[in-house]
Amino acid sequence: MKKIIGLVAVLGTSMLLGACGNDEFTIEFWTPLTGDDGANMDALVKEYNDTDPEYKVNHVITSDMYTKMYTVLNSGNGIPDLSIIHADRVPNFVDQDLLEPMTTIMGQQSELKEDNYLTEAWTAGEVDGTQYTIPLDIHGSAMYYNEDLLAKYGVESFLDDNVVTFDEMLSLQGELDEGDYVLNDSLLGWVVLAQIQNLNGDIEDEAGNPTVNTPEMKEAIEAIKELSEAGIMTPYGEDGYLMFQSGNVLFSTDGTWSSIGHSQVESLNYGVTNTYAFDPSNFHNRASSHLFALLKSEDRTDEKEQGIGEFLEYMRANSIEWAEAGQIVASVDVAESPEYENYLQSFFTSTEEETDSLHIYTYRHYPYVAEAVDMYAADMVHGEIDVDEGLAEMQRFVEDKIQEGALDLENVVEEEVEE
């Protein structure tokens, strides 16, 4: 088996992850769910354990999960039986031979198949025809609107086709009361990456090289910058998310999960629609997915693997609780259930067109691209740096990261050796 070696001393051996308690009849389940969604997963795991399965599940929330994954894989001790990873991690994990395919589990549980999941979530875990993950959800960019402000300014028609355009927002320049804004810059990086799809661009070329400094990226950034220069976007450095909750912003570009926070504001009369676009005929919502995965482990028994399959099948059929976390549940049975319609994010699977708008980037170097966009986009949009200069810096940033050869782990040097 291929193993990762050469962990730099910064991580050290003090984590003692081998002591996480891989009990013979306990499925150690790691997730990065450090927000409110962790409590929802705890509830789901408890419900499953209450069915008295032979193999109970122990949910372990880990803030720096990917770093710890590399640590235990390096040592060979304390490797979790089951994990949740993000869609953008799959290609690199497969390249490094860190994941076990789901083939055996799918063979044991006949309902764990593509037909029973949202296609975009299922295919995010497929590499070269092999299925490495079972999806839990899709979580994506969204745009919330303040119904009271739409009525105040007489622009309810913006939502007639479920897509608010750049031109529609710009039409409100100079029309708002002081202190009110058309939109904020929340989750701006996700908005930018949605525009890349709207412009039929991409973040990689046919050879797998990153393409960040492109005409499409420049057009996207400059279009959003025009919104800022028009004075209709919340000021740089202000918390536009809270300004939306305070009732001073028409449109807030948050994530599907943000509905939890918005619902706690009693005075906020709001709804959800798609991320803004250039043209209603071509719109996208940048998305990701939480995926169940098996890290390579020699200690995972066939019996425990069967227990994992039973847990994943339970989650497929009973994950309505996950909708409480503001996520787009990947199970078709749940997403098409009448109960799911009560959740705001059901909008994104309400029609085939909406489901098709959800775009998950699966480029192997996507984490670097996303980091670069998050680092530079706001400065370019708000005029802190020149757009051409910023794009060139972004391209160099991604290329340097790839050259370093480390995925979000600056202190890990990876060498593959054959045992």
Torsion of CA 60, 66, 72, 76, to 10 degrees: 120
Asked whether residue 39 is assigned to any structural domain, the reply reads yes
- Looking at the fold, whether 245 and 371 belong to one and the same domain comes out as yes
Residue 234 identity (one-letter amino acid): T
The pLDDT confidence band at residue 35, using thresholds 50, 70 and 90, is confident
- Percent of the chain clearing pLDDT 70 (strictly above): 91
Structure token pair of residue 209 = 């090289």
The model scores a pTM over 0.85? yes
Residue 1 has pLDDT above 60, yes or no: no
Give the Cα separation of 51 and 317 in Å (integer): 14
pLDDT at position 20 is: 45
- Residue pLDDT, tens place only, 250-297: 999 999 999 999 999 999 999 999 999 999 999 999 999 999 999 999
Residue 39 has pLDDT above 90, yes or no: yes
Provide the pLDDT for residue 2: 39
Of 407 and 240, more confident: 240
Long-range contacts of 316-324 (CB under 8 A, 24+ apart): 316/111, 316/112, 316/116, 316/117, 316/134, 317/111, 318/44, 318/47, 318/48, 319/44, 319/136, 321/40, 321/43, 321/44, 321/47, 322/37, 322/40, 322/41, 322/44, 322/136, 322/137, 324/40, 324/260
Residue 418 identity (one-letter amino acid): E
179 and 212 belong to one structural domain: yes
Nearest Cα neighbor of 217 from 348, 398, 403, 400 is: 398
**Can you give the residue range of the structural domain that contains 315?**
3-136+289-350
Residues 11, 94 within the same domain:
yes
Give me the pLDDT at residue 70, please.
Answer: 92
Q: Phi first, then psi: what are they for 143, rounded to 5°?
A: -135, 120
Q: Is the residue at 357 inside a domain?
A: no
CA dihedral in degrees (152, 154, 158, 162; nearest 10)?
Answer: 60
The Cα-based distances of 117 to 138, 317, 330, 392 in angstroms read 10, 11, 5, 39
- Position 10 scores a pLDDT of 32
pLDDT (tens digit per residue) in 56-98: 999 999 989 999 999 999 999 999 999 999 999 999 999 999 9
CATH code, domain carrying 255: 3.40.190.10
The verdict on 15 and 122 lying in the same domain is: yes
Classify strands 143-146 and 249-252 as parallel, antiparallel or unpaired.
Answer: antiparallel
Shared domain check, 328 and 202: no
Q: What is the mean pLDDT of the chain?
A: 91
The whole-angstrom separation of Cα 125 and Cα 83 is 13
Q: Say if 156 falls within a structural domain.
A: yes
Quote the number of domains for the chain: 2
In a domain, 398, yes or no: yes
pLDDT per residue over 170-194, tens digit each? 999 999 999 999 999 999 999 999 9
311 has pLDDT over 80: yes
Residue 339 tokens read as 């109960």
Residues 115 and 46 in one domain: yes
| Residue 415 CA: distances (Å) to CA of 133, 211, 349 | 25, 27, 43
Same domain membership, residue 398 and residue 255: yes
38 and 160 both lie in a single domain: no
